[in-house]
A and B are shown apart, each in its own frame.
Chain A
Amino acid sequence: MTRRLRVDWPACHGRGLCHELLPEIVELDEWGYPIVTGPVTDALRADAETAVSSCPRLALRLVKE
């Protein structure tokens, strides 16, 4: 089953840590908010879990599609 990062938009303040930890699938828009560009592959799974647990706003979740 594919997993994807989902942003809790009202919680996100655009700190950008997710992009630092997971540049492969998280870019930042011109205001600093994350743009998730693809699914979380098995190779990225551990980094994605770190991004979720490290978000200072707890604004990321790993969801099944």
Chain B
Amino acid sequence: MNTPPVPYPDEIRVHPGPALLAGIERGPSLTAHRLQYGDLPRVDVDTLLDLVTGVGLRGRGGAAFPLATKLETVARRAGRSRRPVVVVNLSEGESASSKDSALALTRPHLVLDGAVVTARALRATEIHVVLPAERALAARRMREAVAERSGGPPLHLHTAEPRFVAGQSSAVIELISGRPNLPVTSWRPDAVSGLDGRPTLLSNAETWAQLGLLALQGGAQYRRRGTAGEPGTALLTVTGTHRLPQVYEVEYGARLRDVLPDAAAGAPALIGGFHGSWAAWPTVASARVSVPGMRLLGVPLGAGVVHAPGASICPLAFTSRIVAYLAGQSAGRCGPCLNGLPALSAALDRVTDGHDGRDRLDELAHLVVRRGACAHPDGTVRLVRSVFAALPGEVSAHAAGGCLRTPEELAS
């Protein structure tokens, strides 16, 4: 297994926040959780749908898919002979993201409340919780939280494989089915036909925690945070210059730069993680935390990962390292990904080393994209293309045999 360019953290710094992360200093126990939020109400599926639709809740795993659409599909497909399934995905295979682990450490019962209220509304008889392989403490805290609960549908625990693509939804469903934890072709959405062909509502931990909060506090309270068009908050993981990853909860509409350290100022940042996009500093500085807003800027928020390495790190060289890692993380089962990502990595290395390779990169990107069972090749191509789209000055410096980020260049 190759080494990730941002290491998996042993420790995470979780900052108190306005909603999900309010009151975390009181600890993660079920007692503290019930004291803060009260008992979990029982709601029927129409009420739950109204709540989710009313605040426009979107999935927080990266794709920002409207949760109401998934929920409605699962509810419509469910029946006596097709019991729906609820899956909480905490696998968080990307080492630069730590927000789901942060929730496991500080707010496990908010995550579980979201899953339980939904399972009850859908009359689902089982909830599956998928734990991360590389984050022992978060997994242990989640196990302890599950052990504290009684009543509600049974919670089944699974542990994902230590692999970047293990958290892809089809790979998670394979794992729960008892098969290798690798992506397979999805012929139909999970909400229509997921685990054993049953309608399956699979979301990551933050999505479930947001839903838990919404059920516990109601829509009016939820809409007090964020903006009128985009209510609520989002979790961000900031890495790059701190010793530990920092997890913040911010309201939609907040300035992104407010969670960045001074050392990040003036330099490009990688937004959305290893499958994300580079942004030049003026873009980072002007960005507000928003799903549609950041899409318009060309830097989708994804799962809320912001890697801001500061002015001394070369984004091209760093991207080369990420792509080499991602090539090694391919499950190796889809031909274009198995062959294309190592070739893409080699072509990017050539460009980083100052050789001509742009045409070959474009050709390979075209051969890899949308030709696999999961989002891994597409995400890798998005990252590579973003370097050329957002940081042309860095690319031309390399083509001329230099680099904007080496100390000699900075000095001259």
Using a CB–CB cutoff of 8 Å, the interface residues on chain A facing chain B are 6-14, 29-33, 35, 61, 63
Contacts and interface: CB of A to CB of B under 8 A. Distances in A.
A8 B335 contact: no
A1 to B, nearest CB: 17
B334 A30 contact: no
A14 B335 contact: yes
Contacts of A63: 187
Determine chain B's interface SS by DSSP, over half rule. Answer: loop
B185 A11 contact: yes
Which of A6, A30, A32, A61: most chain B CB closer than 10 A? Answer: A30
B261 interface: no
B185 A33 contact: no
Interface of B: 182-185, 187, 331, 333-337, 339-340, 367, 371-373
A35 B368 CA distance: 10
A63 B373 CA distance: 16
A61 B183 CA distance: 18
A19 to B, nearest CB: 13
Contacts of B337: 9
B335 A61 contact: no
Contacts of A13: 335
11 contacts: A9-B334, A9-B373, A10-B183, A10-B184, A10-B333, A10-B373, A31-B336, A32-B335, A35-B367, A35-B371, A63-B187
A30 to B, nearest CB: 7
A33 to B, nearest CB: 4
A7 B373 CA distance: 9
B159 to A, nearest CB: 22
A65 B146 CA distance: 43
A33 B373 contact: no
Given A9-B372, A30-B367, A33-B339, 6 more contacts: A6-B187, A10-B334, A10-B373, A31-B335, A31-B340, A33-B371
Given A14-B335, A31-B336, A33-B335, A9 B367 contact: no
Nearest to A12: B335
B174 to A, nearest CB: 10
Contacts of B336: 9, 29, 31, 33
A8 B185 contact: yes
Nearest to B368: A29
Q: Which of A12, A13, A61 has the most CB of B within 10 A?
A: A12
Nearest to B337: A9
Nearest to B331: A10
B367 to A, nearest CB: 5
A61 B371 CA distance: 14
Contacts of B372: 9
B369 to A, nearest CB: 12
A63 B187 CA distance: 9
Nearest to B367: A29
A9 B187 contact: no
A31 B184 contact: no
